[in-house]
Structure 1
Amino acid sequence: MPATSPEAALGQILDAVGIDAARAHEARIVGTDPILPTRFLMGTAGTAVLSAVGLAAADLWKLRGGDDQIIDMDARRGALALRTSKYLRVDGRPAEDYWDPISGFHQTNDGWVQLHCQFPHFRDGVLKVLGCAHDRDAVTAELVKWSGQALEDRMAEEALPVFRMRSHDEWHAHPQAKAVGAPPLIDIIKLGDSPPEPMPVDARPLGGIKVLDLTRVIAGPMTGRTLAEHGADVLRISGPHLPFTEPLVMDTGHGKRAAYIDLREDIGQGQLMDLVRGADVFSQSYRPGTLAGRGYGPEELAEIRPGLIYVTLSAWSHAGPWANRRGYDSLVQCATGIADENGAPEGPKHLPGQALDYITGYLGAFGAMVALSRRARDGGSYLVRLSLAQTATWLNRLGRMDGSTDPRKRADLERDDILDLLMETDTPWGRMEHLGPVLGMSLTPPTWERPAVPLGTHPPEWMDIN
């Protein structure tokens, strides 16, 4: 499959939401893959999606009366933007490795499976099904007694995120692949009518826009982080009882405030509704139907706050037999053929970065900005819908690097190779070194107005901007 150019990939993203693909030429894009050790076009994908974000932010800036500006990206910055957690350091030390020792690929009696045991209830559930101790060797010994499909089915009965590794052909034959291939890369659906809401006066594209961020892990939090880069007031809401991965909170928390709300309690439900009434964007990444079952679905919240932009990200999309199954970037890579191809013939191997998470997160921010532009011009409430599996389908269709030299043999880009793109920030955890915003915008360059903070640092209320 021939490699798609970054400009053509950007055109695909624009076309998916009804924007003229020819506008891709408004972004100045340089460089090509390979950037990282993979045949997959991570540089192209990152460059395209961040250029789309830049064009959407520039459109919002013009709606405020701002001038045209230059959007610039290159493949190196685009690739690095799909693995920002890799370069996170606190007080001179790399952020703690957050992978549970039993997570990752294991052999069964007929292939490979992947376990995802990052949260205690997943780990404990897997160990209960296998009947063994929390030890990688013990888990490996049990898994070779299973077929991959039998294990996947049994774990699904317990709502545990375990998937067998599939080839591209096996994935394309699966009913979920057929369901994922039907929707566009990103859906923007009008939920109802409401009066137009002009963009508030501010010096930044998203200044004055309030974003409720009810997301976890990487993809959803990246949507909020990206909106914060362009001036939005992003308030991340977490449950005090829910597990979390601290290095990812650090990585995805730049520019945000963070509050606890316990939705199991009446007072917490009231706090959330008060925030919704003042919000412009509501972003969530729970499985389809989870929040709707508690009265926080897109239609319900659009009734409470006409004009709301509701962003929802899931693993497997809203359609198909796996719609309600848990999933994460690495598992989607495993089940859709990406890990199989990327590691062949030696064995399964993930991409050099959680590309599906980061791409989907940036796409969520892009979709929210496009919907805000529509609201400003035409009014209305909007649903923005994305999934990791749809992103995987798009990435796969971008093609591969070709040539006599296998790009997987390239040296990886380590910290010392990207010092020009790193920045330091004082945070509650210490002095944090991290990748700065990489998107180039000549008049409104992305920046974070506040450092990442631990969950629950702030009260659950909007800032007073008067």
Structure 2
Amino acid sequence: MDNTVRRGTELLWSVLGGDPALVDRVSFVGTSGLLPARLPVMDLARAAVAVAGLAAVERSGAPGTVRVDDGAVATAFVSERHLRVDGRAPVNFAPLSGFFRAADGWIRTHANYPHHRAALVRALEVREESPEAVRAAIGQRGAEEVEAAVYAAGGLAVAVRTPERWAASEQGREVAARPLLTRERLDEAPPRRRSGPLRVLDLTRVIAGPVATRTLALLGADVLRIDPPRNPELPDQHADTDIGKRTAALDLERPADRRTFDELLDSADVLVTGYRPGALDRFELRRPGLVVARLSAWGDYGPWGERRGFDSLVQAATGIAVTEGSEEKPGVLPAQALDHGSGYLLAAAVLRSLTEQDRDGGTRLVRLALAQTGHWLTHTLPRYDPERYLAETDGPLGRLRHALSPVSYEGGPAGWSRPPGLQGGDDPAWLSA
């Protein structure tokens, strides 16, 4: 196993509290160089898929190797782009979702859902829902001013920040001070599992949460997804991420639907939520012996703790868009890697919590945020840094900055014995005659 790949898998498996010896059962194969980016996106993808496989093997007791194929991983991390419905390509981003230049920088909007699109248009006070109208309105205002106005209206828009600016912000400091994910044992309650397949109640949206529950469905869980009837999932997102599941619509504000939901929750083994922190608190979702996995964009702490968010917005706010962009415009990762990576990691955390619950009991709580996955990608995973492979040497030409030789072996030379001299300035003779 490649040392860099193994390191990422070891780090994630350690975060999950897994037995380090199991990492030896992972085998990586396939084409290299996929999902190219300045950040180590492929390393995140491999490691996240690897720990999901390890957690499944550990729980099932299956023998053999966890096989992680780079081609399969890279394809799955852009599964929404490969989707076809009767030959039709999916709509992944609506016209009003994207980068727009503000008066003092850039902003990223997310308006795929109708209610978010309406909130964006309302906040910008534009008369028509067109990219041209939105571009003109944003161009006259500051990026953070637009961010505040759109969020206040119930929409989603984030000012593009540099990595340094995000790190200096209060929310950036909150994210950096916390672990990648948290796993808690809340009490001494016995597990809730009964005969038959694992029952997973899915209250998630878009990519990360649905990828987690899609993975649990693959592994044999009975996954039932619940959406509000007046705000269903986008059709193409449903087609891509609800494979292997069953879906239903319930309005939890209606007494009859609420009773049905409570009955489902009473008999569930796992609950996975993906709404912004606090949005579901009024429904009293905690049950003794349940495994609860809570996913959010920014975390349930700090000044952004109750904000909505999506992968693209987290990339914009945390400096990833600047890192992957150019002087002309911010850029993006080659996949919604924070979403997909968080999804597989969350599935692994659920499986590990179930394994530990089988042994020790207790109601379990797992918490993970896209911003935490982004921080792990940018600050923990090894990434190519050319400075590590450069040296400076003084000589006749002055102070020379040069690349180190890639030819290296134990006991061999660490570098050249002399710097370059003045061109043509040496005697035409061997050093030792």
| TM-score with structure 1 setting the length | 0.79
1:181 maps to 2:176: yes
Q: Distance in 2 between matches of 1:242 and 1:215?
A: 13
Measure, in 1, the Cα distance between the counterparts of 2:244 and 2:223. 7
Residue-by-residue CA offset, 1:33-85 (whole Å, 9 max, x unaligned): 531242222221111111101111111112xxxx4221111333322221111
Aligned twin of 1:16: 15
Match of 2:222 in 1: 233
Give the structure 1 partner of residue 188 of structure 2. 193
Aligned ranges for residues 75-154 of structure 1 at < 5 Å? 75-95=70-90, 97-132=91-126, 133-154=128-149
Q: Which residue of structure 2 lines up, in the alignment, with residue 432 of structure 1?
A: none
User: In the TM superposition, what is the alpha-carbon distance from 1:402 to its structure 2 partner?
Assistant: 5.9
Q: Distance in 1 between matches of 2:160 and 2:33?
A: 25
The answer to whether the Cα contact below 8 Å between 2:201 and 2:224 also exists between their aligned partners in 1 is yes
Aligned to 2:416: none
Partner of 1:400: 383
| Percent identity over paired residues | 38
2:280 to 291, 295, 308: 291
CA distance in 1, matches of 2:298, 2:364: 21
**Residues 4, 399 of structure 1: 8 Å contact kept:** no
Deviation at 1:183, TM superposition (A): 2.2
Letter aligned with residue 104 of structure 2: D
Distance 1:388 1:185 in 2: 9
Shift of 1:195: 2.6
The amino acid across from 1:14 in the alignment is W
Cα distance in 2, alignment partners of residues 32 and 319 from structure 1:
40
3-state SS of paired residue (2:184): strand
> What secondary structure is seen at the aligned counterpart in 2 of 1:93?
coil
Question: Partner of 1:366 in structure 2?
Answer: 348
Report the CA distance between 1:354 and its aligned residue.
0.8
8 Å contact from structure 2 (residues 208, 339) kept in 1: yes
Does the 8 A contact of 2:45 with 2:73 survive in 1?
yes
1:343-389 alpha-carbon deviations (Å, 9 max, x no partner): 12331111121111111111111111001101111111100110100
Kindly state the Cα deviation for residue 403 of structure 1 after the two structures are TM-superposed. Answer: 7.2
Cα 1:32–1:199 change in 2 (3 A) is farther
Match for 2:295 among 313, 318, 328? 313
| C-alpha distance in 1 between matches for 2:32 and 2:149 | 40
Q: What is the alpha-carbon root mean square deviation over aligned residues?
A: 2.0
**Alignment check: 8 A CA contact 2:4 2:382 kept:** no
* Cα distance in 2 for residues equivalent to 1:158 and 1:211: 33
Query: Quick one: distance in 1 between partners of 2:361 and 2:177?
Result: 28
Instruction: Supply the AA of the counterpart residue of 1:345.
Output: E
Mapped pair 1:42 → 2:24? no
Instruction: Return the alpha-carbon distance in structure 2 between the equivalents of residues 118 and 363 of structure 1.
Output: 25
Query: For residues 73 and 106 of structure 2, what CA distance do their matches in structure 1 show?
Result: 31
Q: Separation in 2 of the partners of 1:217 and 1:370?
A: 24
- Residue 197 (structure 2) aligned to one of 195, 198, 208: 208
Alignment match, 2:366: 384
Deviations along 1:162-188, one digit per CA (max 9) or x if unpaired, are 110011111111111111122221211
Give the secondary structure class of the aligned counterpart of 2:67. Answer: strand
Distance 2:232 2:134 in 1: 23
User: What are the Cα deviations for residues 218-244 of structure 1, in whole angstroms up to 9, with x where unaligned?
Assistant: 111111100001000001111111142
User: How far apart, in 2, do the equivalents of 1:229 and 1:367 lie?
Assistant: 16
Would you say how many aligned residue pairs link Structure 1 and Structure 2?
Answer: 384
Q: Which TM-score applies when normalising by structure 2?
A: 0.84
The Cα offsets for residues 171-226 of structure 1, whole Å up to 9 and x where unpaired, read as 111111111122221211011112356885xxxxxx71000001111111111100
Q: Distance in 2 between matches of 1:42 and 1:80?
A: 13
**The one of 233, 251, 258 aligned to 1:244:** 233
1:395-442, CA deviations, whole angstroms, 9 ceiling, x for partnerless residues?
A: 1122434679xxxxxxxxxxxxxxxxxxxxxxxxxxxxxxxxxxxxxx
Pick the aligned partner of 1:333 from 315, 338, 347.
315
1:319 maps to amino acid: Y
Distance 1:368 1:130 in 2: 41
CA contact (8 A) 1:110 1:147 kept: yes
Q: Is the 8 A contact 1:44 1:78 kept in 2?
A: no
Distance 1:74 1:337 in 2: 30
Task: Give the SS at the match of 1:99.
Answer: coil
Match in the other structure for 2:160: 165
Q: Is the 8 A contact 2:120 2:156 kept in 1?
A: no
Quote the Cα distance in structure 2 between the aligned partners of 1:309 and 1:244: 24
Structure 1 window deviating more from structure 2 (285-294 vs 273-282): it is 285-294
CA–CA separation in structure 1 for the residues paired with 2:3 and 2:368: 22
Q: Distance in 1 between matches of 2:306 and 2:120?
A: 19
Structure-2 change in CA distance of 1:402 and 1:22 (3 Å): farther
**Alpha-carbon separation, structure 1, partners of 2:298 and 2:28:** 31
2:254 to 261, 265, 280: 265
The CA deviation at 1:143 is 0.9
Q: Is the 1:197–1:379 Cα contact (8 Å) retained in structure 2?
A: no
